[in-house]
């Protein structure tokens, strides 16, 4: 009986120890899995550090012994892979005196991290000193008791970025020096037109320093007569992104205003305006010369007007005397003289008109007349003198206008004579009278001559502007006809414009209001 009891007891103990074994086995497998996971993570972490492009090393103890160094830093050191275990300055003695030892000591002994950007370091690679730039982080590393045991280093080789940055800085410096050296006044403004830079010429001219130039509203330097126009045109350019181009007077350090040609162009990035570059060139001498030229022309025109008008009278007298004498050989020559005298008279009147405009004395005598008939008469007169031309007239619109008949005639004659003058090889001119929306009537004169380049299209309406080319010499003129035409049409509240292609010809058009008020 006792034996049976013993056996039972033993069986019970066996079952219990089996269960305990199972529990231990379970725990063991759990620990093994956790261990494997940890190993896996350490492996991943190590391979991440080893393969990283960042330069990573751990320097142990006061000697900064290389405890660990990843592939990237070993490559940059260029001293082979058996550097681990050696003190840093034994491996790279050349960097000791470049401040590195000081930084490492500071981190190791004071326990404070140190960071540096674009730090230049020269080190010996295969016998050659190579200068590189690094972003550095030196961090103290602690043991479980909180004592510093070494320095962790993470660095990045930023040599190419630093060199690029240095290049950009150098070229910016060169640009500034070049801009300061220039006699032109150069300024830069942001996308909204607020100035951010003025060159030395500005400082010299205004007597203000850079800060004062930037603080003083620009507009204060512009002559009050021109400030409104400048503001309007600048607003328009800022809105449209179109170049700014105007003449205005700017105040100098002595308080005198001098004429300048002011130009601004928009700098764009992907079509978006990022800034504006402006140049102002002094044209005071040019303006004074222009004034002298104008005064001289005014004087000459006054002096010539009377004799030329009387020549015309005598020519007409002679023409009427020989009118019925069919065999008189002087007849064609008299017509030629008349044509030339007409030209001269027109030129003289243009000169006199110039000074009238200057004094704001160009008045309009408006009357009702048929624009169609007026055009027909003008064409008849011109064809009478220019026998070899072919002028076509298209009456798309027929009706009366209220305008200054002579002045409108002057514009039309200017358009037609220019069309003939600037068409040496093709004497065909097409003229059209047409009606525009908004109650405007228009006249366009189309030729097939030399045409005008895009850059000159708006400038030909300026006083004395002539397209500069060899043609300027070939085609006689003073560059005032279109200026006067523009003034006349503006005074009629109309519009004048031109479309042209070099080599294809030009089409000059004016529009005037049709209303009879």
- Residue ranges binding ligand ADP (CB under 6 A): 414, 418-419, 422, 447, 449-452, 460, 466-467, 477-483, 506
Q: How far is the CB of 294 from ligand ADP (least distance, A)?
A: 14
Backbone angles phi, psi at 119, to 5 degrees: -75, 125
In sign, the C-alpha dihedral spanning 446, 452, 458, 464 is: negative
Q: Is the CB of 312 or the CB of 466 nearer to ligand ADP? A: 466
Q: Is the CB of 174 or the CB of 453 nearer to ligand ADP? A: 453
Residues 6+ apart with CB under 8 A from 283: 247, 259, 260, 261
- H-only helix segments in 52-134: 71-77, 88-91, 100-110
**Count of CA atoms in the C-beta half-sphere (13 A) of 234:** 23
Q: Is the CB of 483 or the CB of 510 nearer to ligand ADP? A: 483
Residue showing the smallest CB distance to ligand ADP in the complex: 477
| β-strand partners of 496 | 510
Question: Vertex 421, ends 419 and 427: CA angle to 5°?
Answer: 65
Q: How far is the CB of 468 from ligand ADP (least distance, A)?
A: 9
Q: Is the CB of 70 or the CB of 506 nearer to ligand ADP? A: 506
Q: How far is the CB of 381 from ligand ADP (least distance, A)?
A: 18
Q: How far is the CB of 167 from ligand ADP (least distance, A)?
A: 46
Q: How far is the CB of 279 from ligand ADP (least distance, A)?
A: 25
Spatial distance between the Cα atoms of 246 and 261, rounded to a whole number of angstroms: 6
Q: Is the CB of 280 or the CB of 418 nearer to ligand ADP? A: 418
Q: How far is the CB of 308 from ligand ADP (least distance, A)?
A: 18
| β-strand partners of 148 | 142
Spatial distance between the Cα atoms of 477 and 473, rounded to a whole number of angstroms: 9
Structure-block tokens of residue 209: 């320093």
Q: Is the CB of 397 or the CB of 465 nearer to ligand ADP? A: 465
Q: How far is the CB of 487 from ligand ADP (least distance, A)?
A: 11
Q: Name residue, tokens 């190590």.
A: 46
CA 237 to chain centroid: 11
Q: Is the CB of 57 or the CB of 418 nearer to ligand ADP? A: 418
């Amino acid at each position: 009986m006792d034996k049976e009891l013993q056996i039972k007891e033993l069986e019970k103990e066996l079952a219990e120890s089996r269960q305990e074994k199972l529990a231990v086995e379970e725990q063991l497998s759990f620990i093994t899995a956790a261990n494997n996971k940890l190993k896996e993570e350490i492996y991943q972490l190590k391979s991440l550090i080893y393969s990283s492009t960042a330069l990573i090393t751990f320097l142990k103890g006061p000697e900064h012994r290389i405890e660990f160094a990843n592939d990237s830093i070993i490559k940059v050191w260029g001293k082979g892979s058996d550097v681990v275990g050696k003190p840093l300055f034994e491996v790279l003695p050349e960097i000791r005196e470049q401040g590195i030892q000081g930084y490492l000591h500071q981190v190791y002994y004071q326990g404070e991290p140190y960071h540096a950007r674009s730090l230049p370091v020269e080190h010996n690679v295969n016998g050659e000193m190579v200068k590189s730039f690094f972003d550095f982080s030196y961090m103290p590393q602690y043991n479980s008791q909180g004592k510093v045991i070494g320095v962790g280093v993470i660095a990045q080789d930023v040599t190419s970025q630093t060199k690029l940055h240095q290049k950009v800085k150098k070229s910016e410096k060169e640009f500034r020096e070049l801009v300061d050296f220039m006699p032109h006044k150069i300024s830069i403004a942001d996308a909204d037109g607020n100035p951010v830079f003025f060159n030395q010429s500005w400082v010299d001219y205004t007597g203000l320093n850079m800060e004062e130039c930037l603080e003083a509203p620009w507009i204060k330097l512009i002559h009050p007569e021109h400030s409104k126009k400048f503001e309007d045109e600048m607003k328009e350019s800022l809105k449209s992104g179109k170049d700014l181009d105007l003449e205005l007077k700017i105040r100098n350090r002595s308080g005198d205003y001098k004429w300048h040609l002011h130009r601004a162009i928009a700098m764009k990035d992907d079509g978006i305006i990022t800034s504006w570059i402006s140049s102002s060139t002094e044209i005071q001498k040019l303006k004074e010369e222009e004034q002298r030229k104008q005064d001289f022309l005014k004087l000459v025109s006054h002096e010539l007007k009377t004799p030329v008008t009387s020549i015309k009278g005598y020519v007409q007298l002679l023409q009427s005397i020989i009118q019925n004498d069919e065999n008189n050989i002087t007849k064609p020559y008299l017509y030629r003289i008349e044509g030339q005298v007409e030209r001269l008279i027109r030129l003289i009147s243009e000169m006199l008109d110039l000074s009238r405009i200057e004094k704001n004395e160009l008045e309009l005598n408006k009357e009702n007349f048929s624009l169609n008939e007026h055009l027909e008469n003008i064409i008849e007169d011109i064809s009478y003198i220019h026998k070899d031309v072919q002028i076509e007239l298209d009456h798309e619109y027929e009706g009366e206008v209220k305008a200054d008949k002579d002045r409108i005639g002057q514009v039309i004659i200017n358009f037609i004579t220019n069309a003939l003058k600037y068409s040496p090889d093709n004497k065909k001119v097409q003229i059209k009278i047409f009606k525009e929306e908004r109650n405007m009537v228009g006249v366009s004169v189309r030729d097939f001559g030399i045409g005008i380049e895009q850059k000159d299209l708006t400038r030909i309406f300026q006083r004395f502007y002539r397209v500069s080319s060899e043609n300027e010499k070939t085609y006689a003129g003073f560059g005032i006809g279109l200026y006067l035409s523009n003034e006349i049409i503006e005074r009629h509240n109309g519009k004048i414009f031109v479309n042209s292609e070099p080599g294809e010809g030009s089409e000059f058009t004016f529009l005037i209001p049709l209303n009879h008020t």
